[in-house]
Amino acid sequence: MRVIGSVVVIAVLDGGSGADLARRLTAAGAVGVLIADQQAGVAEDLATELDRPGCRVVGVGGDVRRPSDVAALVDTAEKHLGPIDLFCVAGPDGERIVSLCDLPDHLDLERLAELVALVGEAIGEVVVPARRRPVQDVATV
């Protein structure tokens, strides 16, 4: 996994923390990091702490269990930081980093569907089944 020169999205689930992961990735040479947390203000505060010349850090609210939020995170990251190289999920029971190098370079419905599937697998790896709670996407109701 190559971090130097990468743009990274870190999505934090309830009970998880992306702070240590964000610190490790910025120290390892990421050029851009978007941190998304379900708790208001947490990602923004961490982004303010870590943002520096050579590594832009943006914090936003978001819930990666919702496909519409994944799409919004991708759009925001690409708008402010450039194409995403790594997508990370930080949950209460660990973290998972997904490389996007095998996905097509442009954002379209097919790429988004692949990304949502990868994020779903990552969530499954960092949240034990008893702690998962289902979330419906407003767009699918």
Q: What is the pLDDT of residues 6-48, one digit of tens each?
A: 999 999 998 889 999 999 999 999 999 999 998 879 999 999 9
Domains of the chain (ranges, CATH numbers): 7-130 (3.40.50.720)
* Residue 12 host element (H or E): strand 7-12
pLDDT tens per residue, range 47-75: 999 999 999 999 999 888 888 888 888 88
Among candidate residues 95, 74, 79, the one with its CA nearest the CA of residue 24: 95
Q: What does the pLDDT look like over 116-125, one tens digit per residue?
A: 777 888 888 7
Question: What is the per-residue burial (b if ≥16 Cβ within 10 Å, else e) of 107-133?
Answer: beeeebeebbebbeebbeebbeeeeee
Range 119-136 average pLDDT: 66
Cα gap 80→20, rounded to integer Å: 22
Query: Could you tell me the pTM of the whole model?
Result: 0.81
